[in-house]
Amino acid sequence: MKILIANLGSTSFKYRLYDMDGAASSMLAQGGFERVSEYTPCIEKMLEDLISEGHLASGSELDAVGFKTVLGKDLSGCVDADDRVLAALEGFKEVAPAHNPAYAEGIRCFERLLPDVRRVALFETAFYQWMEPAAYSYAIPQAWRDLGIRRYGFHGASHKFIAERTAELLGREDVAQRVRQLYVSGAGSFEGAPLRVLSCHLGGSSSVTGIRDGLAIGSSMGFSPQSGLPQNNRVGDLDSMAIPYACKMLGITVEEAERQLNKESGLLGLSGVSNDARDVREAAASGNADAKLATDALVDSIRHWAGSFFFKMGGAEVISFTAGIGENDVELRAAVCAGLEGLGVKIDPEANASTIRGKEGVISASDSKIKVVVIPANEELVIAREVYRQVSK
Ligand code: ADP
């Protein structure tokens, strides 16, 4: 079964084509476009390429297209990307302005270009459906909660892949199996020994998730992907009183405040250098104090959230790093794990330094009680598997 995964960034379009056969999968092709302002030409060009490279005879040979939709109002899980999904994306478009409009446009584009090819959405919030009410409820009036304002959690496909892969690496087939079946058979009960993972997805946008026995217990991201760690150019956590105060003192509107928090904050806002972690790291190394502050603040926030989940889960067996920064920034990984010998965390500097550029590996010392691992992100595979199941139903 040929399944295309469409990854629609606010300024990019990336894709992967999989051939799925039961649990087995092989990736046939991948590609992408940067600085995208319109999706239709990219999708047309992608189809042309897939055909000329011999992966497809025509677009309609695709069995399904999968979308990593972000936040739906009153909707999550893996579902057909129909009008209900478009309405759910529309319902929360103000909450995820960088993501929801892009996915709505992308889904409509495929509907127009390939009307007969099934479209399936896997929401990034799906992995968090077993979170406890005490963990997802904000202490706000009922009328606000009735609007759907609560913690959701994001990067679900990525963290779910980490839940499965860490279990495999630790030889815990019971947990790996549970994770693979989550969206089919639900969480059920779990009798095995605990497997607790502090999962750090650190990329253009970043989050930390606590995973106990294959289930997410919480995320640093809350109501929107705007919260939690400092992001590339988005703010992360901020006290709610800061917005009315800044509006009054700076004489700006709420909309302008929102724009600044969405586009001029995060690593860019703190460093004044760039929204790209590599540039910020370089500037810090050459003595730029603001850039150093930005990197330090990211490390501090990762430790803050990992510490919170460590406490909530009563410990951890694994700390995992994934995505652009997590897979490559050796110094940052060392800083996140520094001084934790008392908790049983000890990094092997050589293993840490050599596990970069898409390499998977254990970077903790052999006598470290908690294993520290680097796992290349593979959210597309998680989506392809769920799409396959949805289409095979
Ligand atoms: P996205 O969330 O956009 O998919 P990625 O997971 O590709 O992003 O991560 C992009 C981030 O990873 C960028 O901030 C980039 O600077 C950072 N990154 C890539 N390589 C390195 C590196 N060697 N050191 C530090 N950061 C890196």
Q: Tell me which residues have their CB closer than 6 angstroms to ligand 1.
A: 203-205, 232, 276-278, 281, 323-325, 328-329
Q: Considering only CA atoms, which residue is closest to atom 2 of ligand 1? A: 204
**Whole-angstrom distance, CA of residue 104 vs CA of residue 90:** 8
Q: Is pTM beyond 0.75 here?
A: yes
How high is the pLDDT of residue 187?
Answer: 96
Report CA(188)–ligand 1 centroid distance (Å).
36
Mean pLDDT of residues grouped by 10 in the chain (393 residues)? 92 93 91 90 96 96 97 98 98 94 95 97 98 98 98 98 98 97 94 98 96 98 96 96 98 97 96 96 97 98 98 98 97 98 98 98 98 96 96 93
| Ligand 1 atom, smallest distance to 275 CA | 14
Domain ranges of the chain: 2-123, 156-379
User: Pairing mode, if any, of strands 206-212 and 196-202?
Assistant: antiparallel
Same topology, domains 2-123 and 156-379? Answer is yes
Express each pLDDT in 183-196 by its tens digit.
999 999 999 999 99
Q: What is the CATH number of domain 2-123?
A: 3.30.420.40
What spacing in Å lies between the alpha carbon of 339 and ligand 1's midpoint?
25
Cα(76)–Cα(230) distance, rounded to whole angstroms? 25
Place of tokens 């929801």: 100
Superfamily of domain 156-379: ATPase, nucleotide binding domain (3.30.420.40)
Pocket test for ligand 1, best of 280, 325, 356, 379 (most atoms within 8 A of CB): 325
Atom of ligand 1 nearest to the CA of 267: 14
186 CB burial (10 A radius; 0-12, 13-18, 19+): exposed
pLDDT at 201 (0 to 100): 98
Locate the ligand 1 atom nearest the alpha carbon of residue 323 and give its number. 6
Name the residue of 11, 232, 278, 378 whose CB sits within 8 Å of the most ligand 1 atoms, as the mutation to test its pocket.
278
How many Å lie between the centroid of ligand 1 and the Cα of residue 236?
17
Query: What is the rounded distance in angstroms from the CA atom of residue 19 to the CA atom of residue 382?
Result: 13
Q: Which of 16, 275, 328 to mutate to test the pocket of ligand 1 (most atoms within 8 A of CB)?
A: 328
**Closest C-alpha to ligand 1, atom 23:** 328
Atom of ligand 1 nearest to the CA of 206: 2
Pairing of strands 371-374, 318-322: parallel
> Ligand 1 center to residue 210 CA distance, Å?
22
Cα 208–Cα 80–Cα 23 angle in degrees, nearest 5: 65
Interatomic CA distance for residues 149 and 223, integer angstroms: 6
In this predicted structure, what is the pLDDT of residue 37? 86
Ligand 1 center from residue 378 Cα (angstroms): 15
How does DSSP classify residue 63?
Answer: S
pLDDT, tens only, 250-297: 999 999 999 999 999 999 999 999 999 999 999 999 999 999 999 999
Name the 3-class secondary structure at 55: coil
